[in-house]
Structure 1
Amino acid sequence: MSQHARQAVERILESSSVGTMATIKNNRPHTRFMTFFHKDLTLYTATTKETDKVEEIEQNPHTHILIGYDGEGYGDEYIDYHGKVAINDSDELKKQLWTEKMEPWFEGPDDPNYIILEIKPETVRLMTNQVGNEPQEVDLA
């Protein structure tokens, strides 16, 4: 893995917060757009306890996320992320990640239905749409 790939992934995570997150529902992929926060290569996303994805994650904690593609066409770099999801109900983390944009869904950071999905990376690849550029896997160590 080149240093370029790691730096590009970090740059993409800083500039792109919305991506797709896939889980398994009824033995089929189920994908939705989510807003992500990150620390290093661990991703976090807010959700409610009362959602299909929580049940899906309890049955199969593996996820696939695409983040960073901005639709400009050939040459766009984006992240192909495979990870394992755990539910994090830490009051400290919920307060740290809370933003006013969450108010339509939650009463505040102390809302009992507000939880964080913590996604630990298993494989992270820098992707590009340029012909001849192969995906570059990021060293997770």
Structure 2
Amino acid sequence: MELRDKILDVMGGVNISAFATVQNEQHPVPRVRYVATIGFPDLSMKIATHKSSVKMSHIKNNPKGCIATWNGKDFEDVDKPYVIMDTEIEILDDEKSKNEFWDPMLENYFSGPDDPEYVIMDLKPYSIEYYSEGKMEKLTSI
């Protein structure tokens, strides 16, 4: 299996991922939180978030992030592959993007696709590390 396919097998579709941002160069402490992600065949990921969240203030100052995704479900899956992606982040706040990404599961967090707090983070990787069986493979031409 090609490396891109192995990566997509881990991060494609809906996952729970650990996502880190950094406020700015003067305060370079990472802040990590769990987020629901959707991974796409081009190896990008999207995350719905609140416009007023701490991560959004970080992204305005530093539009880069790091995300780690594992496709295991519980501790018995500890040896399953995982990926770590360094990404550029674009904020999508237009009506078309918000409507296309909208899912009823988001109703727990937003009143609808026209909720002014609802925005989408579009994560475009520039480096991906794939870990499996104690070995790492790196993809840099994405």
What TM-score does the superposition give when structure 1 sets the normalisation length? 0.86
Aligned-residue Cα RMSD (Å) equals: 1.7
Q: CA deviation at 1:14?
A: 2.8
Q: In the alignment, what sits opposite 1:125?
A: 129
| Unaligned segments of structure 1, at least 5 residues | none
Give aligned pairs, total: 135
Of the structure 1 ranges 105-114 and 14-23, higher mean CA displacement relative to structure 2 is found in: 14-23
Matched, 1:95 2:96: no
More strand by share: 2
| Unaligned segments of structure 2, at least 5 residues | none
Q: In the alignment, what sits opposite 2:56?
A: 54
Percent identity reads 23
Q: In the alignment, what sits opposite 1:136?
A: 137
- Partners of 2:37 and 2:90 in 1: how far apart? 14
Q: In the alignment, what sits opposite 1:28?
A: 29
Q: CA deviation at 1:36?
A: 1.1
Asked if the contact 1:37–1:97 (Cα under 8 Å) also holds between the matched residues in 2, the reply is no
After superposing on structure 2, the runs of 4+ consecutive aligned residues of structure 1 that deviate more than 2 Å are 13-16, 138-141
- Relative distance call for 1:83 and 1:56 in structure 2 (3 A) is same
